[in-house]
Structure 1
Amino acid sequence: MIQNKLKYLAAALLILTLLVAPAAAHGVYMSWEANGNNISTHSYYQGGDPMANCDVTVETLDASGKATEYLKDKTDANGNYTFELKSGVSSYRVKVVEGEHAVSKKIDVDAPSGSGSGSSGSGSLIFGTEGPSLFTIGAGLGWIVGIAGIIMYLQARKMNKSK
């Protein structure tokens, strides 16, 4: 009787683990502002914590959308980064990366206002891996099934000794 209950319990645990949605890591976001000849960005996590000392890549984008690396640097302790506009370029892509967290934002400085001064915006284009990988999920399921198997083995062994 106990053995049947353990089988149902193990099956229920397995089914529940398959139905649980992966817990997503917090999102990352970027806001920006163009002032005169500079663009300032602020990169931060969903809770508002800054993406401090993270890798920054700034690319220039031509009319066809082709990207050319312009700058590589790091954000400051507050998740801020400022760079100077390149002459003749009005579109940039700024990427900020920390491990598996990353945000990428296309910035058009000649958008509605016609000049770069005073333009601003924000975005949350997230790329990279957020949340656990399939390998991590599979490993977790393996642990659960393994532990359930050990418990069932010990229960069966105990039942055989009592007979």
Structure 2
Amino acid sequence: MVLNFNRILLVISILTMVFVPATSAHSVHMDVIEKSTDKIKVKAYYGGGDPMKDVEVNVYLITENDEEPYIEDKSTDEKGMYSFEPKQGHEVYKVVASDFGHQVEKKVILESQSSSSSNGSSNNSDTDGLPMPARIVSGFGYIAGIAGIGMMANARKIKKKYENENK
């Protein structure tokens, strides 16, 4: 009876993995594509590489003591791109893209030609740098490991039961 239940559970699990569409929480990223005194252009995208289309973008001027809104309630294009003209005399900006619980910010510094990033509500784990196929394979490996531990525990139970019956 237990063996039939395990087989049914295995078949249901396999069918679920095959026919249910993949869903996952996305990490979000932003890259500075162009940075000059005439134009700053950023690209916002999800961890899988899909662009953050038509998401809200706000740009803030960063001063020594505070930050103030510079551009508000704009949106990215179909490719996840947004560009703006820097304000004369200001060199440090914070660009924020947000959509349905995902938020990413990028600090852009014109003077030193460097930038830094911080992810707001997204999880930035060690696997974010891996390509998607590698992440999928590692996920299957994780599941196979858990299944292997379960099968090992089940085999021990069966072995003990068999040894007790033959005494």
TM-score tier, shorter chain, comes to 0.5 to 0.7
* In the alignment, structure 1 residue 69 sits paired with structure 2 residue 69: yes
Q: TM-score, normalised by structure 2?
A: 0.55
CA contact (8 A) 2:55 2:99 kept: yes
CA distance in 1 between counterparts of 2:122 and 2:81 reads 23
- Alpha-carbon distance between aligned partners in 1 of 2:24 and 2:120, rounded to the nearest angstrom: 13
Are the equivalent residues in 1 in contact too, given 2:28–2:122 (CA < 8 A)? no
**In the superposition, relative to structure 1, how do residues 120 and 49 fare at CA in structure 2: closer, same or farther (>3 Å)?**
farther
- CA-to-aligned-CA distance 1:9-35 (integer Å, 9 cap, x gap): xxxxxxxxxxxxxx9722100001203
Paired residue type of 2:28? V
Amino acid at match of 2:58: T
Q: Which has the higher contact order (CA 8 A, sep 6+)?
A: 1
Q: Does 1:128 align with 2:129?
A: no
Q: Percent sequence identity over matched residues?
A: 32
Where is the helix percentage greater, Structure 1 or Structure 2?
A: 2
Q: Pick closer, same or farther for the CA change 1:61–1:122 going to 2, 3 Å.
A: closer
In structure 2, the residue matched to 1:103 is: 104
The root-mean-square deviation of aligned C-alpha atoms, in Å, is: 2.2
In structure 2, the residue matched to 1:91 is 92
Compared CA separation, residues 56 and 79, structure 1 to 2 (3 A): same
4+ residue runs over 6 A deviation: none
Change (3 A) 1:104 1:63: same
Gaps of 5+ in 2: 1-22, 124-167
Q: CA deviation at 1:70?
A: 0.4
Matched residue SS, 1:29? strand
Stretches of structure 1 that go unaligned for 5 or more consecutive residues are: 1-22, 112-118, 131-163
CA distance in 2, matches of 1:77, 1:61: 28
Structure 2 counterpart of 1:96, one-letter code: A
Q: For the residues of structure 1 that align with 2:111 and 2:115, how far apart are their CA atoms? A: 13
1:28-47 equivalences under 5 Å are 28-32=28-32, 33-47=34-48
Distance 1:57 1:68, change over 3 A: same
Write the letter of the residue equivalent to 1:34.
Answer: K
Q: Deviations over 1:58-92 (max 9, x none)?
A: 0001123x110000210001100000010110000
**Structure 2 Cα separation of the partners of residues 47 and 90 of structure 1:** 31
Question: 1:30 is aligned with what amino acid?
Answer: M
Task: Report how many aligned residue pairs link the two structures.
Answer: 100
For 2:93 and 2:85, the matched residues in 1 are separated by 11
